[in-house]
Structure 1
Amino acid sequence: MNASVGRGISTSISKRLNEKPFAGTDYVGMWYEARRRHGVDDNMWFGFYENGEPVPNWHRRSHRFGDGLGGLSVLLRERGHDCGPLPSSRSMKQPDWRELWRTRRPLDVPATAIDWNHLDASRKYSQSHVPVSLVLTPEQTLQVESAARAAGVSSTIWLLWTADRAVRTTLADAKSVMSWVFPVNLRGAVDCGDPVMNHCSGLMVRVSGKTAPGSLKEQISARFARHEHWRQWIALTIGRYIGQFGINILYRLVQAPAGRHTGSYSNLGEWNVPFLDALTCSAPGSPAYPVAVSTVLCNGRRTLACRLHPVIGGSSERAIELLTLWRELSCTTESLSGW
């Protein structure tokens, strides 16, 4: 049973797949096992638009067993689609300890300071709504690319910048300093034993109301130059030394309070899947990272998706509002006025 919410925006009841862990140990997955034990949802969502239906057929996969690229590839292969090799990292060489020490100085950026319009930490164990997804037309998909070129950045950075603008317009004070998790694929640079397992590290990107798209691009480049994604990878895989028991204790010690950060921005790249009209996806989100925004390009059409945690008053209706504005900001250059 599917339910459409708004024009071109949809939610649906998910189909739960049988999930089996893969051979080897997924050390990043240990963190998702720890958060699951603490009552925090660890499910990624993948939606298939097909047969002209206006709503996606949702599937869930646990983040314990793989990242977004891995999870999506498993689902597609189960339906007979040959995905080929998954995308490899552009950062193929892991720096040694001397290089990490040399680049240890932190960037000079504003500290995270988010003034949410609504924040209720007592709802940290409440379940989020089913993701809300919006499919862009082929024309709108091209408009996003054109706007990104006009801003002098890639579509990946442009969509993060416009998502940030949409969040600070609909969910928080415009003067807030947002902090976003920017995932980094390390496939090819690291080998976890199975290509669908968690191979993603990440950067923590901070964005203020005064951050221009070009400045965001420079910050991300600077964080890559500092090897922050490799520092994060070392931390994420510490389970090889302390095991699941140690990760459970460490998770409890480092768990951030509700609403401490903005959330995560996921871009699963470009796919060609002939039997689908479009693809969509969503990260789990969490009380500490309550906004999960995602995008993917399939068969020449881009989708935008959003899931908001209840600690910030998240609901399908609020997600629709955010998605509608995100699309509007992304398809034009009007938001660039003044930069």
Structure 2
Amino acid sequence: MLTIRQNKKRYQNKKRYQNKKRHENRARQRTDYIAQWYEVREDMGVSDRIHGFLHNPQTQHTEWQDFRHRDLDGISMIAVMKQALGYAPETPPLCREGKEPGFWSVWRKVRKAPKDRTEKQVHWRLAASAAEPLPTDITAAEPGFRVLSHNTLYALKQQARMHGVSCASLTLAALNKAVFQHCLQDGSQAWWFYPVNVRGSDPATHNGNRSSGFYLALNAGSSAQDIHARVKQKLMAQEHWWLWKMAHIGRFVGKTGVRFLYQRISRRQFYLGSFSYLGDCSLPDHPSLLLGVCGAGSANYPIATGITECNGQLILSLKFHPSLADAQRRQSLCLHSWAQGLEKMAFASQSLPAPEESERPEAIPEPLTDTDQQKALCHD
């Protein structure tokens, strides 16, 4: 039989153990394991600088702001910029699940999903042709952007509704076509990273880095319908949640382990870049301003993007990493072709003209709104 003193000591040891575990769990929750990847990259000379900007189309003045990706993602960056303009904090877009699903349920879904064995390499052309005209002068490693008008955005959403796709899928199809046209070898395939917002209903998950994503292997002929169907399939398979859980491996291997994994992966896997469609970030109190963003990019993800809807207009941002040969020319050509391609898409076979300002509705619903709401800036 245990004495009263022994029972008391056992109870105290149990409470001490429980308090220790509770403290460790809270420490894990405070640690941003996504940020570890950016910190490791920075240690290796890979910048995690992401960009936000406010553009005034009337004066053509653009104010650029840079942030560290280790501190926040695209949705958080937009919130910070809006609050700096005097807007009250808002509830950000939330993921469709409402909260993070369990490890084994995600594992079972991913395991059943079809696997794409396309090699994770990009077959670049050696250089853009000098015969191709250079529409604008853009410094390599700095973002360029284009603004599409109210009428164009309205028409794009009409086209998206007509074809049963999202505006994001139309935008990616146009970008992909431009990149393959100007940058890639004929007959090749390559992967895009497609970020997904994983913010849950818990306010503690609303800030910082709460974006995951999945990969899409596309070719020069990939249509908006193809892209839309594959995005929907990958969301249902919860591939973004699997990547989210894998990215938290720093809980078990520490920063040293993350550094080893990053070095190993970066030597073997290469992608086109990231496609980040962040949806509507309008500034109702600043009708003359447009808010845009652009990702960081790296040698493994050399094409960084950012797409926002602001005050009824569509802002396309693009940045080519200087590791690419002829980066300045390619960035300029692709940005020009991307915007031009969307203009053509918007008004292709359109039976009705775009409405006047007074007739235009506040917003047009899209067929897969929960997909578009999950966009956030990617890990690269």
Q: Tell me the amino acid that sits aligned with residue 261 of structure 2.
A: L
CA–CA distance in 1 between the matches of 2:322 and 2:52? 21
Who is 2:126 aligned against?
Answer: 118
RMSD between aligned alpha carbons? 2.6
1:213 and 2:252 aligned: no
Question: How do residues 91-110 of structure 1 correspond to structure 2 at under 5 angstroms?
Answer: 91-103=97-109, 104-109=111-116
Determine helix, strand or coil for the equivalent of 1:279. Answer: strand
**Distance apart, 1:128 and its partner CA:** 4.9
* Distance change >3 Å, CA 227–CA 268, structure 1 → 2: same
Check 1:76–1:265 CA distance in 2 against 1; reply closer, same or farther (3 A cut): same
Structure 2 unpaired stretches of 5+? 1-28, 128-138, 350-380
Partners in 1 of 2:116 and 2:257 — Cα distance? 32
**Which of 138, 154, 164 lines up with 1:142 in the alignment?**
154
Residue 51 of structure 1: how far off its partner (Å)? 7.5
Between the two proteins, the alignment pairs up a number of residues equal to 306
- Aligned ranges for residues 213-292 of structure 1 at < 5 Å? 213-257=224-268, 260-273=270-283, 274-275=285-286, 276-292=288-304
Which secondary structure does the structure 2 equivalent of 1:161 belong to?
Answer: helix
Q: Percent identity?
A: 25
| Equivalent in the alignment of 2:211 | 200
Letter paired with 1:111: T
Secondary structure of the corresponding residue to residue 254 of structure 2 = helix
User: Using the alignment, how far apart are the partners of 1:67 and 1:36 within structure 2?
Assistant: 16
Task: Encode CA deviations 1:198-224: one digit per residue, 9 max, x unaligned.
Answer: 000101111123433222212111111
Output the amino acid matched with 2:216.
V
What CA distance in whole angstroms lies between the structure 2 residues aligned with 1:188 and 1:243? 25
Alpha-carbon offset, residue 70 of structure 1: 0.5
Over 3 Å counting, the alpha-carbon distance change for 1:300 and 1:51 in structure 2 is: closer
Residues 103 and 245, structure 2, Cα contact 8 Å, conserved in 1: no
Distance of aligned partners of 1:46 and 1:221 in 2 relative to their CA distance in 1, 3 Å threshold: same
Question: By percentage of residues, which structure has more helix?
Answer: 2
User: What is the alpha-carbon distance in structure 2 between the residues aligned to residue 225 and residue 325 of structure 1?
Assistant: 32
- Within the candidate set 195, 200, 203, 1:183 is matched to 195
8 Å contact from structure 1 (residues 181, 263) kept in 2: yes
Q: Which residue of 1 aligns with 2:4?
A: none
1:36 to 24, 35, 42: 42
**Following TM superposition, by how much is the alpha carbon of 1:188 offset from its aligned partner in structure 2, in angstroms?**
1.0
Distance, in Å, in 1 between the alignment partners of 2:271 and 2:230 is 18
Whole-angstrom CA distance in 2 between matches of 1:305 and 1:28: 24
Contact kept, 8 Å, 2:200 with 2:206, in 1: the verdict is no
Q: Which amino acid aligns with 1:332?
A: K
TM norm structure 2: 0.74
User: TM-score, normalising length from structure 1?
Assistant: 0.82
**Equivalent of 1:309, from 303, 307, 321?**
321
Give, in whole Å, the separation in 1 of the partners of 2:106 and 2:151.
44
The equivalent residue for 2:363 is none
Mapped contact 2:175–2:338 kept (Cα < 8 A): yes
Unaligned segments of structure 1, at least 5 residues: 1-22, 120-126
> Superposition pairs for residues 58-73 of structure 1, below 5 Å?
58-73=64-79
Match of 2:15 in 1: none
Q: Which of the numbers 72, 80, 86 marks the counterpart of 2:86?
A: 80
The answer to whether the 8 Å contact 1:307/1:314 transfers is: no
3-state secondary structure, aligned to 1:130: coil
| Greater gyration radius | 2
2:70 match: secondary structure: helix
User: What is the alpha-carbon distance in structure 1 between the residues aligned to residue 247 and residue 170 of structure 2?
Assistant: 27
Question: Whole-Å Cα distance in 1 between the matches of residues 52 and 348 of structure 2?
Answer: 32
2:79 & 2:58 partners in 1: Cα distance? 22
Shift in Å, 1:110: 5.8
* Corresponding residue for residue 161 of structure 1: 173
SS of equivalent to 2:50: strand
